[in-house]
Amino acid sequence: MELFVDIGNSRLKWAQCEKNALSPIQAINYQLVDFIDILEKFWKNLAIPSNVYISNVGKPNLNILLSEWCGKVWNISPIFAQTTQKSCDILNGYENPHTLGVDRWLALIGSKPYLSKNLCVVDCGTAVTIDVLQINGLHLGGLILAGLQTSRDALTQKAAALKNIKFNQEVKDLNLAKNTHDGIALGTIYAIAGCIEKVAVAHQAKVILTGGDAIFIIPHLKCHFLHLPDLVLQGLTRWADEQKL
């Protein structure tokens, strides 16, 4: 059994892999609790993995914490994925390939099996990233937007009249808002959905969505899409397989 780990800006996600099959994703917001407490509670009773592969775009010190914990508990040194110019037949389109976030890189690699036409690969989290992948495996580049909560926080922090608004639930209908809360909720969703659709149309691309906030964007998309919650972990498994060659 191998363990695959995806650390975003706010959530820790992991899945076990055995016989090339990923288990269902486990996820937790690690900003709300002590990181080591999470490992002790959720990982300590796992079967000891033969390898641990990690994608981390969170704080760099988490790499140290994970290395120390895995070494102490499992006597394993985890392997941290890195962005390169080319991997798994995907060619990085960034001017400086190493500056592309490793989660975006792995999402592109994970999209490879679905590359029957150009792809618009979208990760909806603290930030929303949109990357275009040509059918030949060439990454054309991408965009970065503020995520739903990040956008809403920016509005409520900057505008005095909005400071007391709390967002506890999503707005599901597609009509114009009748109050300020729904106006901000819908406005931030429409901004992201509209950007996704604009990029997809411009590049005649099929949309693939991942990330924790994808479920809030999906009801407002008019284009065809594929929802793959474990896309980064899928990419991490393909990246790990290439490292073993």
Final residue in a domain of this structure, among 80, 98, 130 = 80
- Considering the domain boundaries, does residue 212 fall inside one? yes
| pLDDT range class, residue 177, cuts 50, 70, 90 | confident
The pLDDT tens digits of the residues spanning 198-231 come to 999 999 999 999 999 999 999 999 999 999 999 9
Domain count, the chain: 2
Same-domain check for residues 11 and 91: no
Final residue in a domain of this structure, among 35, 55, 80 = 80
Vertex 105: Cα angle to 132 and 61 (nearest 5): 140
- Considering the domain boundaries, does residue 180 fall inside one? yes
Predicted pLDDT of residue 154: 86
Long-range interactions of 81-84: CB distance < 8 A, separation 24+: 81/53, 81/54, 81/55, 81/105, 81/106, 81/236, 81/239, 81/240
Same-domain check for residues 176 and 203: yes
Structure token pair of residue 193: 């959905």
186 pLDDT higher than 80: yes
Q: What is the DSSP letter of 16?
A: E
Same-domain check for residues 156 and 174: yes
- Considering the domain boundaries, does residue 225 fall inside one? yes
Contact between residue 131 and residue 141 where contact means Cβ atoms under 8 Å apart: yes
What is the distance in angstroms between the CA of the first residue and the CA of the last residue of the chain? 18
- Counting beta carbons within 10 angstroms of the beta carbon of residue 164, is it exposed (0 to 12), middle (13 to 18) or buried (19 or more)? exposed
Same-domain check for residues 33 and 135: no
Predicted pLDDT of residue 173: 61
The pLDDT tens digits of the residues spanning 47-105 come to 999 999 999 999 999 999 999 999 999 999 999 999 999 999 999 999 999 999 999 99
Residues designated as active site: 103
For the chain, the average pLDDT equals 92
Structure token pair of residue 163: 């400071």
Same-domain check for residues 90 and 74: no
CATH code of the domain in which 75 resides: 3.30.420.40
- Considering the domain boundaries, does residue 35 fall inside one? yes
Q: How far apart are CA 205 and CA 201, in angstroms?
A: 7
Residue 59 sits in which domain range? 2-80
Same-domain check for residues 228 and 139: yes
Q: How far apart are CA 225 and CA 205, in angstroms?
A: 10
169 pLDDT higher than 90: no
- Considering the domain boundaries, does residue 149 fall inside one? yes
Beta bridge partners of 26: 14
Final residue in a domain of this structure, among 33, 58, 80 = 80
